[in-house]
Amino acid sequence: MDRVLIIGLCAALGACAAVPRTQAVQLAQSGATASDLAAQEVRDLSGRLDRQEELMAFTTTWETCVELPDPTQCEPMEQSDANAQEVGKLIRAINLRAEALTALADAYRALGQEAQYNAEGAMETVVGRLTRSVNAYADVIDPGAGTLVNAPLGQGISMGAGLLARDRQRTRLRDGSARIRAAVVLLRTSLGAEVRLFDALSGSFAEQEGATIEALYAAGLISRSPLLAQMATDLGVTMAPEAEQVLATDLRARGALQAYVRGQANDRVRLQAARYDAILNALAKLEAAHADFETVGGADIADLNRAIGEITALIPATKEAGQ
């Protein structure tokens, strides 16, 4: 009778096959890499957006005050409430996404620890933190969207004391994978909503950077020619000694410089769009890899790693991200 019961449990849980440890470790390593890279991108993006209020305050104040007949009437200007709220919401969402991605990377590392060392209970705390952080991120982007349930892992085998340790581990790995997959799904959905919010504001970000440079020059605080120094270096040429004077007197040259500055800002917006696409693609590959792992005990890691390669090519090294 005991043998029949164990066979029945094996059929119900799919637990008597070999534990897919190698596949779990591969999935965990790739998942942690993708999550760490995506979290690194957040620091770069959040820092650039956080500067927008400063740029707008300076530019708006200059443009307003320069029209006043009496300079003593000049008062500092602030960002409009509506704009500040939208940018603030995006910054909060981005920072919460960083926390969610960090928790996701930790969950993958715990999954790898469980697979390598049969560390029962290793995933409990980190998967719980992952659930809370992804819910918080989703709720900022779309209030009420955070719906992940923080249930204990391995509930389905809590009464199966007679099962072999390897069978319990196999079930825990699949249970943990399912919980991580649910977080990946909600994270990807919420990131899609973040992209739409960014798209609605990105045009104004590019315009603001160009307007700030013009305001700085008009106020006599910067020179224009250094803005072209990198382009000259890239082309292997040297700026003329009188470049600054040319830019001050030749409207054609100054207009071309303004177009160049705007082009740089637009390039940064397009780069961010490409990063978003790459991260969304990697999350989709992660979701598919988890589903395969839970169904057949394996996953297409090569396809996932190609997606990780796309992120790596688009996200700056840690030193650059902190600048």
**Residue percentage of the chain with pLDDT more than 90:** 38
Tell me, what's the pLDDT at 15? 42
Whole-number pLDDT of residue 2: 44
* 193, 211, 232, 246, 273 from 253: Cα distances, Å: 41, 17, 14, 7, 30
Q: Model confidence over 138-159: pLDDT tens digits?
A: 999 888 877 876 655 555 444 4
Q: Identify the burial level of 158 via C-beta atoms within 10 angstroms of its C-beta, where 0-12 means exposed, 13-18 middle and 19 or more buried.
A: exposed
Angle (CA) 316 319 323, round 5°: 90
Ranked by mean pLDDT, the top range of 56-65, 156-165, 169-178, 279-288 is 279-288
pLDDT classification of 287: cutoffs 50, 70, 90: very high
Say what the pLDDT of residue 291 is: 94
Tokens 């790459």: give the residue. 278
Residue 6 pLDDT exceeds 50? no
What digits encode the pLDDT tens for the residues 81-125?
A: 777 788 888 889 999 999 999 999 999 999 999 888 876 777 888
Lowest mean pLDDT among 156-165, 184-193, 225-234: 156-165
What is the residue-averaged pLDDT of the chain? 83
Question: In the prediction, which pLDDT does 18 show?
Answer: 67
Measured CA to CA, the distance from residue 74 to residue 55 in angstroms comes to 17
Inform me whether the pLDDT recorded for 207 exceeds 90.
no
Give me the mean pLDDT over the 208-214 stretch: 85
CA pair distance 7, 13, nearest whole angstrom: 10
Specify the pLDDT at position 20. Answer: 81
Alpha-carbon distance of 243 to 249, in angstroms, equals: 10
Greater confidence (167 vs 311) lies with: 311
Predicted confidence at residue 192, as pLDDT, reads 94
The yes-or-no verdict on residue 314 having pLDDT over 70 is: yes
Q: Greater confidence, 211 or 159?
A: 211
Retrieve residue 92's tokens. 């909060």
Specify the pTM. Answer: 0.82
- For the stretch 222-266, pLDDT in tens is 898 998 988 999 999 999 999 999 998 999 998 899 889 888 888
